[in-house]
A and B are shown apart, each in its own frame.
Chain A
Amino acid sequence: MPKTQSADKAQRAGEGKIATLLMAPTVIVMTVVGLYPLLHSLYLSLTNYNPTYGDAKEFIGLANYVYAFEDGQFWHSILITLIFTAASVSISLVLAVLLSLLFNLRFPGFMILRTVILIPMLITPVAVGITWRIMMMPDLGVLNYLMGLIGIPPALWAGSSSTALLSVILVDVWQWTPFMFLIIYAGISSLPKTPFEAAAIDGASPWRMFVSLTLPMLKPVIVIATLLRIVDAFRTYDTIYTITRGGPDFATDVVSVYLQRVNFRFFDLGYGSALSWLTLIIVLVVVLLFVRLTGFMKLVADKENR
């Protein structure tokens, strides 16, 4: 048999090594920039490390974690974050579904409008924060001016502890609804047409079609978009920091802003690491709850079986 057509046993056995070889760069990079810092922060969380007091650190066991459970400021910021996430994600979800339905009517000119609508998510969050901060200024801001034109009394926006959280939710909704819209619109436009025609002939009203067909068929897409947004909203930092720095009166002190303060203003790195790990666990619990409640894994399995 000619040599070109056959490989000997050693050559075939060597094929297994190719997979290892191909994975090596990723594994190495991820270990250096991902796994090592993660484990190192876990180690730091068990010490009282604070570089402003010099390089020395003591191993103090779970003391940081015990202290965290009594840290009202931390739990306050977790609560604010949960409210912020829940409100922002659900509002932008509803808006995105409505927008997708509207754009799916495919009126002329919608193509351009669809592109314009995506712009907010392309802007740097810090720029978004600065722009909105200026627009929301109670005295000089354009929002109060516009509201004045139609007779609505001026608001304090981010300047008052009662409306600050609402204001940053508004900005987050404005920036990230396009992202939800993009995913859900893609989902809606790829739905098969005949079930809807069949439903029209079966006598279903448009509302009925939406409830009985559109929403159930869109569920996988909606669940994925929402999951991504939940994770994303949980770690929101730049817009809120540029608009309010967590204030006034800690009304917008979301967990990422608080963590930044502990870690990089007070440089209480040991305690900060412990808080970061607690936050990670809380996010995981939230995500797992969401996955469980929506039957996400089943949706994925169904999709693969098709």
Chain B
Amino acid sequence: MGIQIKNLVKRFGSLTVVNDISVDIKDGEFFTLLGSSGCGKTTTLRMIAGLETPSEGKVFIHGKDVTYAEPRHRDIAMAFQDYGLYPNMSVFENIEFPLKIRKMPEAERRKKVEETAGTLGIGDYLGRKPAQMSGGQRQRVSLARALVRNPKVFLMDEPLSNLDAKLRAVMRTEIRRLVTEQGITTVYVTHDQIEAMSMADRIAVMYKGDMVQVAPPLEIYDRPATRFVADFIGSPPMNLFSAELSKGGRVVCQIQEFGQALDETERHRATQMADQHGHFSVGVRPEHLQCVAAGTAGSAEAIVELVEPLGQTTNIYLLSGDQRYIVVTDRTTVEAGDTIGVIAPREHVRAVARDR
């Protein structure tokens, strides 16, 4: 059953923060809400948690309507960006708190706390106060406090964003492992596409209160539905070229060679997603574009503006007409000022909606 969200709307005054969202999150699924700040992802999560009351719509957890239920009656666990630890309690007391409220006998409580703390590698710090711990350790405490009561639903609000990059990578796999092992339905809010890509079963990309695409990570990456998704996911982002469907179904693209590389399926999608003027975008991921000698058949001519060697890969910044775009390749001998040809392979060219 998992979590069902039906036509959820949240307004603060005249501002609509979440705009008619519906989604079914399956039991045991790791579901990620991804978007830039202010897109409504945290508000959505807080409505699932019961910390905000929806303006419209309904929330179901395990088939039960909890739209207006208090947080404590929802049987959920939550991890916060700033951890939300109880500063006056020791680590042990922090983790023990939810069990104490559930009136679990003391011996059992102690066993449970020690076991969970052990799993998260904070067994040695049980006597400390949160203020005496590092960010990573604090986040482990908050995870332990959430996991200690074997929740069915676990909500996480950017739990890793206050940690340094290395620790984030470690915690990513750890969180994923813990919740998958226990089969917990997880809703995970993040603005970090790498977190979303690496952890999620499904990603919902949010933009200005709308859920613009809900799909597994690779599908989001390979077939971004809208311009925003294409631009938001991937680093450097997908190259987008404005295009137009003419009356006869012909595609006119800013860089004609790329427009012609659209295959049948994508052409068909283009007809569905183009706006009333026939406008849409042609998108190609930077790593899929190929640099060839200028004048090669089917290639677009481009001037190299800048070459950025990153070690593993190289970013080449190109200019065709007045359109700037990026190619990611292996090491290259191309230099700034060169004129080269660029080929967009047929299987990697996508039609992307222009709106949103």
**A202-B97, A202-B98, A204-B101 known; A194 vs B82 contact (CB < 8 Å):** yes
Q: Is A212 an interface residue (CB 8 A)?
A: yes
Q: Is A197 an interface residue (CB 8 A)?
A: yes
Q: Is B247 an interface residue (CB 8 A)?
A: no
Residues B98-140 near A (CB distance < 8 A):
98, 101-102, 131
B110 to chain A, nearest CB (A): 18
Q: Is B49 an interface residue (CB 8 A)?
A: yes
Residues B47-105 near A (CB distance < 8 A):
49-51, 70-72, 74, 76-78, 80, 82-89, 97-98, 101-102
A222 to chain B, nearest CB (A): 13
**A200-B70, A201-B72, A202-B98 known; A216 vs B88 contact (CB < 8 Å):** yes
Q: Which residue of A194, A202, A208 contacts B145 across the interface (Cβ within 8 Å)? A: A202
- Asked if A200 contacts B51 (CB within 8 A), the reply is yes
- Asked if B82 contacts A201 (CB within 8 A), the reply is no
> Interface majority SS on A: helix, strand, loop or mixed?
helix
Residues of B within 8 A of A213 (CB): 86, 88
**A200-B51, A201-B71, A202-B145 known; A217 vs B102 contact (CB < 8 Å):** no
Q: Which residue of B71, B80, B88 contacts A194 across the interface (Cβ within 8 Å)? A: B80
B186 to chain A, nearest CB (A): 14
- Asked if B87 contacts A203 (CB within 8 A), the reply is no
How far, in whole Å, are A194 and B158 apart by their CA atoms in the complex? 13
- Asked if B76 contacts A195 (CB within 8 A), the reply is no
How far, in whole Å, are A199 and B88 apart by their CA atoms in the complex? 13
How far, in whole Å, are A43 and B131 apart by their CA atoms in the complex? 50
User: Nearest chain-A residue to B97 (Cβ)?
Assistant: A202
- Asked if B51 contacts A203 (CB within 8 A), the reply is no
- Asked if B84 contacts A194 (CB within 8 A), the reply is yes
Q: Which residue of B72, B80, B88 contacts A203 across the interface (Cβ within 8 Å)? A: B72
- Asked if A203 contacts B102 (CB within 8 A), the reply is yes
Residues of A within 8 A of B83 (CB): 194
User: Nearest chain-B residue to A204 (Cβ)?
Assistant: B101
Residues of A within 8 A of B87 (CB): 192, 195, 217
Residues of B within 8 A of A212 (CB): 86, 89, 97
Residues of A within 8 A of B101 (CB): 202-204, 208
Residues of A within 8 A of B77 (CB): 201-202
How far, in whole Å, are A279 and B285 apart by their CA atoms in the complex? 83
User: Nearest chain-A residue to B86 (Cβ)?
Assistant: A195
**A200-B70, A201-B72, A202-B101 known; A217 vs B88 contact (CB < 8 Å):** yes
Residues of B within 8 A of A201 (CB): 49-51, 71-72, 74, 76-78
Residues of B within 8 A of A216 (CB): 88-89
Residues B229-272 near A (CB distance < 8 A):
none
How far, in whole Å, are A252 and B80 apart by their CA atoms in the complex? 55
Residues of A within 8 A of B49 (CB): 197, 201
How far, in whole Å, are A180 and B348 apart by their CA atoms in the complex? 69
B25 to chain A, nearest CB (A): 18
How far, in whole Å, are A217 and B84 apart by their CA atoms in the complex? 13
Q: Is A6 an interface residue (CB 8 A)?
A: no
CB-CB contacts of A175-211 with B at 8 A, as 1s and 0s? 0000000000000000010110111111111001000
How far, in whole Å, are A216 and B90 apart by their CA atoms in the complex? 12
CB-CB contacts of A291-302 with B at 8 A, as 1s and 0s? 000000000001
Please give 18 more A-B residue pairs, beta carbons under 8 A apart, in addition to A198-B78, A202-B72. A194-B84, A195-B84, A195-B87, A197-B51, A201-B51, A201-B74, A201-B77, A201-B78, A202-B98, A202-B101, A202-B145, A203-B98, A203-B101, A204-B72, A204-B101, A208-B101, A213-B86, A217-B88
A-B contact pairs, 28 of them (CB 8 A): A192-B87, A194-B80, A194-B82, A195-B84, A195-B85, A197-B49, A197-B80, A198-B80, A198-B84, A199-B97, A200-B50, A200-B71, A201-B49, A201-B50, A201-B51, A201-B74, A201-B77, A201-B78, A202-B72, A202-B77, A202-B97, A202-B98, A202-B101, A202-B145, A203-B102, A204-B72, A213-B86, A306-B131
